[in-house]
Amino acid sequence: MDLSFLFPPEDQETLLNPPENQEAPSAFSPASSTDEHEATTPISKSTITLHDYGDRTLLIGAPDELQPVRVSSDVLRLASPVWRAMLERSWVESKAPEIIFPDDDPEAMLIVLRIAHLAFHELPKKRGLSFESLVNLAIVCDKYDVVGIVRPFWDLYK
């Protein structure tokens, strides 16, 4: 998918090939870098492993209550065009072993990630989500364009 129309021609070269002394931009905030987050962000929960040979750790949720989740970047690329762009382009996240998702609900993200990693046995039971959790799930599905993979499971939660 060509997204070149989103950037003026003069910015495309800078985005794709940043100068040697300049870091690649972050998909979440152009001024952030993973080193800053690693030094200031405490990890308060044990890591959930969704892929035994996972190559990335997602840090999901508020900075004071991050939930680390070990995932496969290949699975993420297949599940979401947003994640594919984030991991294949010259964003900081494309090379970072840890990616922070500070604005996302951990419960909703875990449902999506479990579906993407085929961990269906770890999904909440039928009618096991509150209305607020369903809204958060819908927000995550829309934000990362994963409605297609979650839709077959939606009947479990309505």
In the chain, domain spans: 26-156
Q: Which pLDDT does position 126 carry in this prediction?
A: 78
- Give the model confidence (pLDDT) of 60-103 as tens digits: 999 888 999 999 999 999 999 999 999 987 888 888 999 999 99
Q: Which pLDDT does position 61 carry in this prediction?
A: 95
Closest Cα partner for 45 from 128, 110, 126, 103?
A: 110
| Cα–Cα distance, 118 to 35 (Å, whole number) | 31
Please provide the DSSP assignment of 99-116 as one string.
Answer: EEETTS-HHHHHHHHHHH
CATH of 26-156, one of 3.40.50.1820, 3.30.710.10, 2.10.210.10, 3.30.300.350: 3.30.710.10
| Cα–Cα distance, 22 to 35 (Å, whole number) | 14
Q: Which amino acid is at 117?
A: H
Does pTM surpass 0.85? no
Residue 10 pLDDT exceeds 80 = no
Q: Which pLDDT does position 33 carry in this prediction?
A: 41
Q: Which residues contact 3 (CB under 8 A, 6 or more apart)?
A: 85
Q: Which pLDDT does position 53 carry in this prediction?
A: 94
Measure the CA dihedral 138/142/145/150, to 10°.
10
Q: What percent of the chain has pLDDT over 90?
A: 54
Residue 12 pLDDT exceeds 50 = no
Residue 15 pLDDT exceeds 70 = no
| Cα–Cα distance, 136 to 133 (Å, whole number) | 5
Dihedral pair phi/psi, residue 124, rounded to 5°: -60, 150
Produce one character per residue of 94-133: b if its CB has 16 or more CB atoms within 10 Å, e if not: eebebbbbeebbbbbbbbbbbbbbeeeeebbeeeebeeeb
With cut-offs at 50, 70 and 90, classify the pLDDT of residue 19: low
Q: Which pLDDT does position 17 carry in this prediction?
A: 53
pLDDT mean over 17-41: 48
Q: Which pLDDT does position 3 carry in this prediction?
A: 46
Residue 14 pLDDT exceeds 80 = no
Q: Which pLDDT does position 127 carry in this prediction?
A: 77
